[in-house]
């Protein structure tokens, strides 16, 4: 009995020793793997580099000359028709999209009827005024003042003054009705949104049947529009580097994905008000709560082949 217990104890002891050895070997293996040098991942695209010894690094975005135009609407309503597609070149005042006009047409009909009624009232008041004036002139110009009573003269004079006042009121009502008709026509015209200048439709964010709210300063515009005859590059310089910037400094831009494409930039103007950063590059070290100074550059269209909205790496030379 004791011999069987001893054999069982020796067997368990061997198993524990074996497990301890395996654990030690596993730990040693993990240490060796952790100390092994990991291969450096290869970059898919080589990053751009600054051609200057001292420079400001910034990000730029390509936009239409004079900035991209966010086309909105003065009135809210359901989109009735979109007359353009993305990429269309249109002339100034060409229709871009329209809203439902049924209510506006009904209001226009009501205002036209009100104008006709006001015109009829004005003509009627004018006729009454002419009649009252004629009756008053008859007694006013009498040589023999005793041919008619003083009371009749006063009555005709008062009737003439009342008719004169009624005619002025009728004229005012006619002018008011005409102004309301003009307002109704204006509202009807505002339901068709037109191009503010010659340019290209860059983006369409609406569809037929959608309810469109009157455009505010923020949010996605229904249509993004711009003059693409000549483009410009809007560069955002971090506020920490803004004091180093000089307008006459040389600047270049590189296309992302093709660092061989180098674009010499020409200074356009600086927007002096520093604004919150909106163009995000996606780099891990980027600060999103930074304010930036916006500088606009231009370039030779023959040397420029980037799409609107494309981001560029921009380097601006600075003194030591």
* In-domain check, residue 214: yes
- Assign 1 a pLDDT band (cuts: 50, 70, 90): low
Residues 292 and 238 in one domain: yes
Per-residue pLDDT tens for 44-86? 667 778 888 899 989 898 887 777 888 888 888 999 999 999 8
Structurally, the chain folds into a number of domains equal to: 3
User: What pLDDT was estimated at residue 24?
Assistant: 79
Mean pLDDT of 154-171: 91
* In-domain check, residue 285: yes
* In-domain check, residue 48: no
Residues 125 and 140 in one domain: yes
Residues 148 and 106 in one domain: yes
User: What pLDDT was estimated at residue 304?
Assistant: 67
* In-domain check, residue 270: yes
Residues 61 and 205 in one domain: yes
Task: Give pairs for 120-127: CB < 8 Å, separation 24+.
Answer: 121/170, 121/173, 121/174, 122/167, 122/170, 122/171, 122/173, 122/174, 124/170, 125/163, 125/166, 125/167, 125/169, 125/170, 125/171, 126/167, 126/170
Residues 179 and 305 in one domain: no
Residues 95 and 206 in one domain: yes
Residues 271 and 212 in one domain: yes
Residues 208 and 312 in one domain: yes
* In-domain check, residue 47: no
Which pTM was predicted? 0.62
Mean pLDDT of 117-138: 90
Q: Which of 190, 223, 249 is the last residue of a domain?
A: 190
130 is in which domain, residue-wise? 102-190
In this predicted structure, the answer to whether residue 285 has a pLDDT above a threshold of 90 is no
For residue 77, give the CATH number of its domain: 2.40.30.170
Per-residue pLDDT tens for 229-246? 777 889 999 988 888 999
């Amino acid at each position: 009995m004791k011999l069987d217990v001893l054999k069982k104890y020796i067997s368990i002891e061997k198993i524990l020793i074996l497990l301890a050895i395996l654990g030690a070997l596993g730990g040693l293996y993990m240490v060796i793997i952790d100390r092994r040098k990991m291969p450096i991942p290869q970059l898919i695209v080589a990053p751009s580099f600054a051609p200057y010894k001292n420079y400001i690094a910034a990000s730029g975005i390509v936009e239409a000359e004079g900035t991209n135009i966010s086309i909105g609407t003065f009135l809210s309503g359901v989109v009735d028709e979109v007359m353009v597609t993305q990429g269309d070149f249109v002339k100034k005042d060409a229709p871009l999209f329209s809203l439902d006009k049924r209510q506006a047409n009904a209001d226009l009909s009501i205002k036209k009827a009100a104008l006709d009624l006001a015109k009829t009232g004005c003509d009627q008041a004018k006729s009454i005024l002419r009649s009252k004036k004629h009756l008053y002139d008859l007694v006013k110009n009498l040589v023999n003042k005793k041919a008619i009573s003083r009371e009749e003269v006063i009555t005709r004079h008062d009737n003439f003054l009342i008719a004169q006042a009624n005619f002025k009121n009728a004229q005012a009502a006619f002018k008011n009705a005409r102004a309301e008709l003009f307002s109704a026509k204006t509202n009807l015209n505002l339901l068709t949104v037109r191009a503010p200048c010659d340019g290209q439709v860059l983006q369409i964010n609406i569809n037929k049947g959608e309810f469109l709210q009157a455009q505010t300063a923020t949010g996605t515009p229904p249509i993004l529009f711009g003059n693409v005859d000549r483009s410009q590059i809007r560069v955002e310089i971090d506020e920490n580097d803004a004091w180093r910037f000089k307008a006459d400094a040389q600047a270049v831009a590189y296309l992302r994905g093709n660092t061989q494409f180098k674009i010499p930039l020409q200074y356009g103007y600086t927007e002096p008000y520093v604004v919150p950063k909106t163009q995000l590059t996606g780099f891990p070290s980027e600060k999103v709560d930074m304010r930036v100074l916006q500088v606009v550059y231009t370039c030779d269209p023959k040397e420029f082949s980037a799409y609107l909205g494309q981001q560029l790496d921009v380097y601006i030379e600075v003194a030591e």
